[in-house]
Amino acid sequence: MNDITVAVTALNAIDSPGPGVGVIRALRDCPDFKVRIIGLSYENLEPGIYMHDLVDKTYQIPYPTAGSESLKARLAYIHEKEQIDVLIPNFDAELPNFIKIASELKSWGVQTYLPSMDKFEAIDKLHLHEFGEKAGLKVPKTVFIADTHDIPGLEDEFDYPMVVKGKYYEAYIAKKQEEVYKYFYKVSEKWGLPVVIQEFVSGTEIDIAGLGDGQGQLIGAVPMRKLYITDKGKGWAGVTLKDDRLLEYTQKFIKASKWKSGFELEIMRDDEDDELYLMEVNPRFPAWIYTTAAAGQNLPAALVKRAVGMEQAPFQDYEVGKMFIRYSWDLITDIKEYQQIATMGEL
């Protein structure tokens, strides 16, 4: 059995969880290799830091705003100590920095499984509508605003309700102009400009987690229907479902994007005409990614295998009706551990 050291970001298992803990759980479940997990954190209170049954050691890394050179310098220190084999970043905002230094990481012996910068930018919120037109995938009408002076004119292009999104995360449904102003300030303060305004499409929300090989081949994909959605729009419960149309849709996305890495397609199935609308592409595994492993497609483990050159054929099937429900749990630790990560930057 191979021993593999994997570094993972996004350990914030909170009410709006990151994918890191789910990715780690999936890797721990894989019988084909023995894994040592190095957590990479931004905040001192990310719960994954203190989950010692999942994470062997954690290091703080600089915020994405510090740039790729600061990240590279910190990773050089961590790699010298831990000899990382594979690194899996899981936050949208951090991916550009990791993509920029991927070739240098490879020269150190650290493998990533990431797209090129142009492939990454082609499917972001700023370019998704253009991508959808080229790929033959329906995307709701979308505009971008950088000033509140643009808000009154939105009524010429959109009916209410309309969706107000941050350029990285968060989405709110505005039913009147006052709410557009409210949500504009809320998401721009947190995620910067521009703010995304999107046509509202009613229907059934479906998410598809998958893994692409960068050559137009789909390694695996599992669709899930949300059963419970929080006030932040996060799925708190969901169930895997069987629909060949969704898998064909995902194949179409992969062939057009030639995406290399994990991803999540957020789709709305219109209740009236049964059309599928691509609402968003998340360029990394979703927080519910452990469900794919439970359903028979361990996509995080498949990514690691591909990254290190182990054999991993495309998955052919998965278990339908596999359900997840998130829950809260008080994780008990000691203040000394918090003090150590806060002062030393590692635990």
Task: Note whether residue 241 is domain-resident.
Answer: yes
Of the candidates 271, 332, 54, 284, the residue with the CA atom closest to the CA atom of residue 169: 284
Task: Note whether residue 131 is domain-resident.
Answer: no
- What residues make up the domain containing 59? 2-112+330-344
Assess whether 163 and 57 both reside in one domain. Answer: no
List b or e across 196-221, with b for residues whose CB sees 16 or more CB atoms inside 10 angstroms: bbbbbbebebbbbbbbbbbeeebbbb
Q: How many structural domains compose the chain?
A: 3
Task: Note whether residue 134 is domain-resident.
Answer: no
pLDDT at position 13, please? 81
Task: Note whether residue 135 is domain-resident.
Answer: no
Assess whether 228 and 302 both reside in one domain. Answer: yes
Q: Residue with structure tokens 């510090």?
A: 66
Spatial neighbors of 175 by CB under 8 A, at least 6 apart, are: 160, 161
**Count of CB atoms situated within 10 Å of the CB of 81:** 11
Q: Which of 162, 181, 199 is the last residue of a domain?
A: 199
Assess whether 280 and 258 both reside in one domain. Answer: yes
Assess whether 70 and 166 both reside in one domain. Answer: no
Q: Which of 199, 224, 239 is the last residue of a domain?
A: 199
Assess whether 339 and 287 both reside in one domain. Answer: no
Assess whether 275 and 302 both reside in one domain. Answer: yes
Q: Residue with structure tokens 């599928």?
A: 276
Assess whether 184 and 237 both reside in one domain. Answer: no
pLDDT at position 191, please? 85
State the DSSP string of 106-132: HHHT-B-----HHHHHHTSTTTHHHHH
List b or e across 130-141, with b for residues whose CB sees 16 or more CB atoms inside 10 angstroms: ebbeebebbbbe
Phi and psi dihedrals of 124, rounded to 5? Answer: -75, 175
Below-70 pLDDT ranges, the chain: 1, 232
Q: What is the pLDDT of residues 63-109, one digit of tens each?
A: 999 999 999 999 999 999 999 999 999 999 999 999 999 999 999 99
Assess whether 16 and 90 both reside in one domain. Answer: yes
pLDDT at position 22, please? 97
What pTM was estimated for this model as a whole?
0.93
Assess whether 153 and 208 both reside in one domain. Answer: no
Spatial neighbors of 133 by CB under 8 A, at least 6 apart, are: 139
Task: Note whether residue 133 is domain-resident.
Answer: no
Q: Residue with structure tokens 């996060």?
A: 234
Alpha carbon 90 to chain centroid, angstroms: 5
Spatial neighbors of 177 by CB under 8 A, at least 6 apart, are: 151, 152, 155
**CATH number of the domain within which 182 lies:** 3.30.1490.20
Cα distance between residue 319 and residue 224, in whole Å: 11
Beta bridge partners of 324: 238
Assess whether 68 and 161 both reside in one domain. Answer: no
pLDDT at position 212, please? 98
Cα distance between residue 26 and residue 78, in whole Å: 23
Q: What is the pLDDT of residues 288-297, one digit of tens each?
A: 999 999 999 9
**CATH number of the domain within which 264 lies:** 3.30.470.20
Task: Note whether residue 338 is domain-resident.
Answer: yes
Of the candidates 215, 219, 200, the residue with the CA atom closest to the CA atom of residue 259: 215
For the record, the structure tokens of 50 come out as: 């203190």
Task: Note whether residue 249 is domain-resident.
Answer: yes
Assess whether 94 and 18 both reside in one domain. Answer: yes
Q: Which of 133, 167, 199 is the last residue of a domain?
A: 199
DSSP annotation of 315: P
pLDDT at position 1, please? 59
- Give yes or no for a contact between 138 and 278, defined as CB atoms under 8 angstroms apart: yes
DSSP annotation of 1: -
Assess whether 81 and 149 both reside in one domain. Answer: no
**CATH number of the domain within which 58 lies:** 3.40.50.20
DSSP annotation of 321: T
pLDDT at position 122, please? 96
Task: Note whether residue 152 is domain-resident.
Answer: yes
